[in-house]
Amino acid sequence: MKNVKAILLIADGLGDRPIKELGGKTPLEAAKKPNLDRLATEGECGLMDPIAPGVRAGSDTSHLAILGYDPYKYYTGRGPFEAAGIGMHVRKGDIAFRCNFSTVDENMVIIDRRAGRITSGTDQLAAAVRGMKIDGIEVLFKESVAHRGALILRAADLGAGITDTDPHHEGAKILKSEAIDPNDPASARTAAAVNEFVRRSYELLKHHPVNRERIAQGLNPANIILPRGGGIGPNIESFESEHGLKAACVAETGLINGVARYVGMDITEVPGATGGLDSNLINMAKAIIEQLSDHDFVLCNVKGADLGGHDNNPQAKIDMVGKLDEMVGYLLANIDEHTYLALTADHSTPCAIMDHSGDPVPIVFYGEGVRTDRCNRFDERSVTAGGLGRIQGVDVVKILTQLMNVQQKFGA
Ligand code: ZN
Ligand code: ZN
């Protein structure tokens, strides 16, 4: 049997709306992109609603959907994906949180939610709080970049229906976590553990040598850890057991790596993949080709276009399309005829909105046997001439696996 493989390339936030300064074109329409247009010409195109028509998708919920997992069933909050994204193993039933190292005064009033955007020493601070037990609950904590980290509370019968301790602005006192539903003892137990974790983090960190040093330098000490966005680890089947495809992920952000790790994909570090506009996309393309040698499926997320949208910077988006085009050129030159390539976005991030919108995004499937259509340009409006019509995120892997001819038949 031939060795069929697939690449699913997701340009984060690529979709946009017509922009006056671009003569009414979207950045994708305004950009030069011969390789993307070649994909459109030789492939099958259409529009995709990442979650459903009009739903404003987050990157995490959208990636879940595009990988075939209904986010309304599997997305329980950002915490589990953040924790997975920094390499923590989130198990079913764990309550996971994203956390900030913050600065409080002795009255528990927030002085700085990001502890002076601390850049070093958080590994030592994390070590100081790691391994504690609270009321029989196992506490796992890991630092991430800058002032960020993630917390896992592990025990049977914990609930995630709790309020945050982080008041989200400076000058306010930290809040007491409580169960949202007073008749939910599992969540009440979690809330009590969170309050105790926050209290103990202050006790353990306030005189820590890292913080003594920061104070001596006139910097805000990272003297407390505030968890938020708690969610329960869902019961989720791995991508490999769902589709029979050994999968890897090439991505730049912890959030996407978190989603990928969650569904059992192997994670790759790529030198020069910064997650910014300066990211080295050719290195990412090389990593994809490398991963294809021992995986059947590679998911790749390129972040840059989303930043251009959030910053209302159409030119940055146009520049990212140019880099993406070079990347696709590299991929086309280095894949064989048994490799499929799907290119799409996880949502639109229109410059005018400076955030994610519910507009659908263009998608193209390229590879042996696809039904080539009348579309010959890869952009938001040209793809409406394509053969796919308008599909949803959860359709994407189904369409890919049937093209690859690796899908089980439904029925006789
Ligand atoms: Zn995104
Ligand atoms: Zn975004």
141 contact partners, CB below 8 Å, separation of at least 6: 99, 126, 129, 130, 149, 150, 151, 152, 225
**What values do phi and psi take at 252, rounded to 5?**
-105, -20
Distance 40 CA to ligand 1 centre (A): 22
Distance 52 CA to ligand 2 centre (A): 18
Distance 307 CA to ligand 2 centre (A): 7
> Closest ligand to 251 CA?
1
207 contact partners, CB below 8 Å, separation of at least 6: none
Q: Quick one: pLDDT at residue 359?
A: 98
> Closest ligand to 310 CA?
2
> Closest ligand to 356 CA?
2
> Closest ligand to 307 CA?
2
Q: Quick one: pLDDT at residue 76?
A: 84
**Residues with pLDDT less than 50, the chain:** none
Q: Quick one: pLDDT at residue 219?
A: 95
> Can you tell me the distance from the alpha carbon of 154 to that of 132, in angstroms, rounded to the nearest whole number?
11
Distance 246 CA to ligand 2 centre (A): 28
> Closest ligand to 253 CA?
1
The pLDDT tens digits for 337-366 are: 999 999 999 999 999 999 999 999 999 999
Q: Quick one: pLDDT at residue 81?
A: 86
- Which helix (H) or strand (E) segment holds residue 257: the answer is helix 254-262
251 contact partners, CB below 8 Å, separation of at least 6: 257, 260, 267, 299, 300, 301, 303
Overall pTM surpassing 0.95 (yes/no): no
b vs e for 13-36, b when ≥16 Cβ sit within 10 Å of the residue's Cβ? bbbbbebeebeebbbbbbbebebb
> Closest ligand to 345 CA?
1
> Closest ligand to 346 CA?
1
Q: Quick one: pLDDT at residue 235?
A: 86
Listed residues: CB within 5 A of ion ligand 2: 306
> Can you tell me the distance from the alpha carbon of 232 to that of 263, in angstroms, rounded to the nearest whole number?
15
Distance 280 CA to ligand 2 centre (A): 19
Q: Quick one: pLDDT at residue 314?
A: 98
The pLDDT tens digits for 195-247 are: 999 999 999 999 999 999 999 999 999 999 999 999 999 889 999 999 999 99
Distance 289 CA to ligand 1 centre (A): 23
Q: Quick one: pLDDT at residue 168?
A: 86
Distance 346 CA to ligand 1 centre (A): 5
> Closest ligand to 303 CA?
1
For the CA atoms of 66, 71, 73, 79, the dihedral, rounded to the nearest 10 degrees, stands at: 120
Q: Quick one: pLDDT at residue 402?
A: 97
Q: Name the H helices within 47-141.
A: 59-66, 71-74, 78-85, 122-129
Distance 349 CA to ligand 2 centre (A): 7
Q: Quick one: pLDDT at residue 330?
A: 98
The pLDDT tens digits for 2-16 are: 689 999 999 999 999
> Closest ligand to 11 CA?
1
Distance 36 CA to ligand 2 centre (A): 22
Distance 404 CA to ligand 2 centre (A): 31
Distance 351 CA to ligand 2 centre (A): 11
For the CA atoms of 113, 117, 122, 125, the dihedral, rounded to the nearest 10 degrees, stands at: -40
Residue type, 296: D
Listed residues: CB within 5 A of ion ligand 1: 12, 59, 346
Q: Quick one: pLDDT at residue 2?
A: 64
